[in-house]
Structure 1
Amino acid sequence: MLFLFGLVSRRRADMGEADEQADDGELVRAALAEPLTFTCLYDRYLEPIYSYCYVRLNSREAAEDATSEVFLKAFAGLSGYRGGLFVAWLFQIAHNVVLNIQRHRNLHTSYEVSELADPSPTLEERLISYSERQNLRAALAQLPEEQRTVLELQCAGWSGAQIAEALGKSAPAVRMLRHRAVERLKQIILGQEVA
């Protein structure tokens, strides 16, 4: 089920560029009346949601499946959307989908075939890289959920403003969370006692 709305979103050009200017609330109201309008929301948030899923699941295929599931759940539950920041609502769906996938599939790490087939790094380099990734994942798991989420979204390519909007926080609050997360990671990785 690879990006269900992708085929429909190509019709976006027929709908004009008004959706570029429309805010999420207007698009949600329009999508409730005309379901095809949901493709505007899909186009707007496909990349950030996919990036988040990819960072959390570390697998292209799993991220594609999760992204499709997020948008299917959002589309099906659109009538239950109660206002507020649409991106925060969508992000919460993505967060729940990812947790569900991790719980059911017990996904710890997964490497793309292209990464494993790359002949350039030596076995020793790949083992060191793998070990460093494992250490980083273990350190990230020790962070409070909110701090970990900020770092994961940043690694997924989200801007500070996008993270703030998704989490319903101010930009300075997100910067502080990021700073605290990085400092705590340093302490964990360097083996210092964290208070």
Structure 2
Amino acid sequence: MAMTPEQEKAYVELAQKGDVDAFNMLVEQHQRLAVNLAARLLGDLGLGEDATQNAFMSAYRGLSGFRGGNFRSWLLRIVANACHDIRRSSGRRPTASLDDEDLGLVAVLRSPQESPEDHAIRMELQREIQRGISTLAEDQKLALILVDVQGFGYQEVAEVLNANLGTVKSRLSRARSALRDHMLKRRELLPAGLRLDTEDG
């Protein structure tokens, strides 16, 4: 069950006083979202889990520096930084190995009933989108995942990126354009309506 803002604030205050159980409640509340973001940024679920663990440890050590506001935004900024550190230390580019539907890459494409062929096409489309995301610049990738995959509003994304709204919109626009260009190379995977639109355009 999701916490109310008041409950989250209370747990944060307890955790800042050294209450480990309170911090664990915050971890439980945000862990799935954090792993999802990290796995998308790194293109690998295992690395995403490692980055999330590192981020939660950093968040616990840095709780005294949290001065109020949106705790989720503050936490996800730490997750993004942890992903950057892992990528820099490993010297590897993000891959596109994510196959776990539970990560919810393109929720709008989900259907409760589909044929095996449609399912295979949908999964290949998801993989191709992830490949496209993996080619984006780091700041563009973060903006795209937060807005288009996880459904964040621009203001909260600005808080995560520590940037103004204009910068967020600019990064998102460039990311969407680059991803669209990538997907046009595999237009046979797109739904028929979108495929016709792109061919006409």
C-alpha distance in 1 between matches for 2:179 and 2:98:
26
For each residue in 1:126-153, what CA deviation from the matched residue of structure 2 results, as whole angstroms up to 9, or x when unmatched? Answer: xx99888655533x12xxx544322122
Q: 1:136 and 1:111, CA in 2 relative to 1: closer, same or farther beyond 3 A?
A: closer
Structure 2: stretches of 5+ with no match in the other structure = 101-115, 186-201
**Is residue 2:155 matched to residue 1:157?**
no
1:32 corresponds to? 16
Q: 1:105 and 1:150, CA in 2 relative to 1: closer, same or farther beyond 3 A?
A: same
For each residue in 1:76-115, what CA deviation from the matched residue of structure 2 results, as whole angstroms up to 9, or x when unmatched? Answer: 211222333222221221111100100111232263699x
- Across the two proteins, how many residue pairs are aligned to each other? 164
Of 121, 134, 137, the residue aligned with 1:137 is: 134
- Report 1:38-187 matches (<5 A): 38-108=23-93, 109=95, 111=97, 134=131, 137-138=134-135, 140-141=136-137, 146-154=139-147, 156-160=149-153, 163=157, 166-167=160-161, 178-179=172-173, 181-183=175-177, 185-186=179-180
Contact 1:88 1:168 in 2 (8 A): no
Identity among equivalent positions (%) equals: 26
- CA displacement at 1:71 relative to structure 2: 0.8
Query: Which residue identity does 2:31 align to in structure 1?
Result: L
C-alpha distance in 1 between matches for 2:177 and 2:2:
43
TM (normalized to structure 2)?
0.59
Query: Which residue identity does 1:182 align to in structure 2?
Result: R
C-alpha distance in 2 between matches for 1:100 and 1:150:
18
C-alpha distance in 1 between matches for 2:8 and 2:16:
12
> RMSD in angstroms over aligned alpha carbons?
4.1
Structure 1: stretches of 5+ with no match in the other structure = 1-16, 115-119
Does 1 or 2 have the higher relative contact order (CA < 8 Å, sep 6+)? 1
